[in-house]
Amino acid sequence: MRREATLPPGQRLIDGFPRFGHLSGGPPAVPDNPVIEIRGAVTEAFDVPLTMLSTLPRRELTADFHCVAGWSATKLRWEGVAFAAVYRTLIEPALSPGTAVTHLVCSGLDGWRSVVSIEDALADDVLVAERLNGRPLDGDHGAPVRFVSPRQYGFINTKHLCRIEVHTAEPKGIHGSLAMRVLAPHPRARVWEEERHRYLPSWSLRCAYRATIAFLMPKGGRSA
């Protein structure tokens, strides 16, 4: 069977796993004692030092990775802790009484922000990953830790995770400019359902995305 047959709809294999940051500049500096700030619907804002993650059970996961622009990297081996364990152990006990959480906003040290529904965030293959392919995460792929949700497009997989905001309704206004609002990501972003964008059908951006990939990774793309 051709490998491509196992990729989600509209995806193409790429060689390796390129860095694909959308914000300019190189990887952000990692602070000496990194934390994940917990904000939003908690009784009091607090910070989780990354050292605290070592108190949770370790998780390993081999998964493919799919960018909304149509490239896929396969067989990435992530190691870290289950996001659900972080949530249940560290975040849930700090919620304000009676809070019904619907969404989280994950932020990266580079200013990246991404909204994820609580249902998707608590799926059993979602990790806070510290290692990739047997090595600590590097600057390209999200040092010091990354939110990894393999069943959702890359943009949900926030690199350099430094902040989680807890919300009781879908947060609006994450995407400031008109262009970004038109290109708004799909609220679920599930790759097998091809939920790329909120308003635009997948076919409408196919040519633009192919051109972007060809420009950014001239040797990388392999056609299906």
Q: Which residues bind ligand MTE (CB under 6 A)?
A: 17-23, 67, 108, 110, 112, 141, 154-155, 157-160
Q: Positive or negative CA dihedral for 44, 83, 116, 78? A: positive
Provide φ and ψ at 209, rounded to 5°: -65, -45
CB of 18 to Mo ion, least distance (A): 11
Task: State the residue number with the nearest CB to Mo ion.
Answer: 67
Contact 82, 138 (CB under 8 A): no
Query: CB under 5 to 8 A by kind: which of ligand MTE, Mo ion, none does 78 bind?
Result: none
Tokens matching residue 32: 């000496």
Tokens matching residue 104: 């989280």
Query: CB under 5 to 8 A by kind: which of Mo ion, ligand MTE, none does 22 bind?
Result: ligand MTE
Nearer to Mo ion, 30 or 216 (CB): 216
Question: How far is residue 82 CA from its own chain's centroid?
Answer: 14
Query: CB under 5 to 8 A by kind: which of ligand MTE, Mo ion, none does 158 bind?
Result: ligand MTE
Nearer to ligand MTE, 37 or 92 (CB): 37
CB of 9 to ligand MTE, least distance (A): 17
Return d(Cα 210, Cα 150) in angstroms, integer. 22
Query: CB under 5 to 8 A by kind: which of Mo ion, ligand MTE, none does 141 bind?
Result: ligand MTE
The CA angle 186-177-65, to the nearest 5 degrees, is 35
Question: Tokens 């609006």 correspond to what residue?
Answer: 172
Query: CB under 5 to 8 A by kind: which of Mo ion, ligand MTE, none does 91 bind?
Result: none
Return d(Cα 70, Cα 138) in angstroms, integer. 23
If one asks whether residue 191 binds Mo ion (CB under 5 A), the answer comes out as no
- Answer for which of 27, 144, 150, 154 binds Mo ion (CB under 5 A) is 154
Tokens matching residue 58: 């370790």
CB of 30 to ligand MTE, least distance (A): 12
Interface residues with Mo ion (CB under 5 A)? 67-68, 154
